[in-house]
Amino acid sequence: MISAPAPFYIESNIESIPTLESSKMKLFHILQNENTNVEQVEKVISTDPAMAAKIIRLANSPFYRHCQQPLGMHQSLLTIGLDMVKCIVLSMAVMESFNSSSKRAVHLWKHSYAVALMVLSMGLDKQEKETLFTGALLHDLGRMVFLYKVPSAYIPLFDFEGNRPDIGLEQDVFQTDHTIIGEAVAKKWHFPDEIIGIIKNHHMPNNRASALIFLINTVINELEKDQPCEIDQYSRMLTGFLGKSYKDLVNTIIHRYKTNTVIIENMF
């Protein structure tokens, strides 16, 4: 039984949300430069023991290991690739801002990682790839705010199997939802308008970028529940933004998700 609605006042609640940790965001921006090399990244990461440990642990996981010798930092970066490093950097920056190590938060980040990894190859050019990747990783930012600010009210909204509440339920309880809150926090953190738009519209797409995130998010949600991916009800909208080939994308997402599940698990 859900308790009586308790309005979530955005301005007062996000005022106390800390800014993203500067050294990690510095590295994230370095990684966005196409001229960045592994040596530059290694130099910055060497000053952050927690991040270095996470990268080395992932590179030495069973999914990546192809030799008996443990990999050091340089080989670890080459093994997992700079796109994966970028994923780790941004997520660690956000997780540290929210001190989000709870079971629900970790599950939420696994989902966000999965969406980001799926969309990475779907950009038409480097700029769109960067936008899609960052937007995918942050699409559920508002959920993280709910877990950070009102965990006792938000956690009961997850169902028995741990599935995330939908927008309608959030609106019933808080008179707002995670897309609105995520948009407000992304603005506070000065992310570009294109990324803010993905966060705001990933449940109600208004362009190609938000439609891609919507599609991937929807498919992965069904896969996480071990349910068939039924998206015919969204056919008209998806065709309008992505063309009829969106059906081929669904098969690609399903295949890549199953392939990358091991990577995602080893990141935590």
Q: Which CATH class is domain 99-268?
A: mainly alpha
CA torsion sign, 250 to 112 to 221 to 264? Answer: positive
Instruction: Give the range among 22-26, 113-117, 230-234 with minimum mean pLDDT.
Output: 22-26
Kindly report, residue by residue over 33-67, the tens digit of the pLDDT.
888 889 999 998 988 888 899 899 888 877 776 66
User: For 227-255, what is the mean pLDDT?
Assistant: 90
Rounded-to-integer distance, Cα 57 and Cα 22, Å: 24
Side-chain half-sphere CA neighbours of 73 within 13 A: 16
What is the pTM (predicted TM-score) of this model?
0.86
pLDDT exceeds cutoff 50 at 107: yes
Higher pLDDT, 159 or 211: 211
Q: Which residue has the tokens 């970790």?
A: 106
Q: Any idea what the Cα angle at residue 233 is, between residues 228 and 236, rounded to 5°?
A: 130
Task: Give the model confidence (pLDDT) of 256-266 as tens digits.
Answer: 888 888 777 77
Distance separating alpha carbons of residues 154 and 247, to the nearest angstrom: 34
Instruction: Kindly tell me if the per-residue pLDDT of 5 is higher than 60.
Output: no
Q: What would the two tokens of residue 70 be?
A: 């443990």
- Enumerate the domain spans of the chain: 20-98, 99-268
Q: Could you tell me if 151 and 213 are in contact, meaning their C-beta atoms sit under 8 angstroms apart? A: no
Secondary structure (3-state) at 122: helix
- Window from 22-26, 186-190, 230-234 with minimum mean pLDDT: 22-26
Name the token pair of 23: 């050294």
Q: Which stretches within 120-245 are classed as H helix?
A: 126-137, 141-149, 151-154, 167-174, 178-188, 193-201, 208-224, 235-242
The whole-chain average pLDDT of the chain stands at 87
